Chain A
Amino acid sequence: KQEVTQIPAALSVPEGENLVLNCSFTDSAIYNLQWFRQDPGKGLTSLLLIQSSQREQTSGRLNASLDKSSGRSTLYIAASQPGDSATYLCAVAAMKTSYDKVIFGPGTSLSVIP
Chain B
Amino acid sequence: DAGVTQSPTHLIKTRGQQVTLRCSPKSGHDTVSWYQQALGQGPQFIFQYYEEEERQRGNFPDRFSGHQFPNYSSELNVNALLLGDSALYLCASSWGQGVQAGELFFGEGSRLTVL
Contact = CB atoms under 8 A, between A and B. Distances in A.
Contact of B56 (A44, A49, A101): A101
Contacts, number: 64
Interface string B38-49: 001111110010
User: What is the interface of chain A mostly: helix, strand, loop, or mixed?
Assistant: strand
A102 B99 contact: yes
Interface residues of A, number: 25
B85 interface: no
A86 to B, nearest CB: 14
A34 interface: yes
B4 to A, nearest CB: 8
Interface residues of B, number: 28
Interface in B99-115: 99-100, 102-109, 111
Q: Find the residue from B43, B48, B107 having the highest chain A CB count within 10 A.
A: B43
A105 B41 CA distance: 8
Interface of A: 4, 31-32, 34, 36, 41-46, 49, 89, 91, 93-95, 100-107
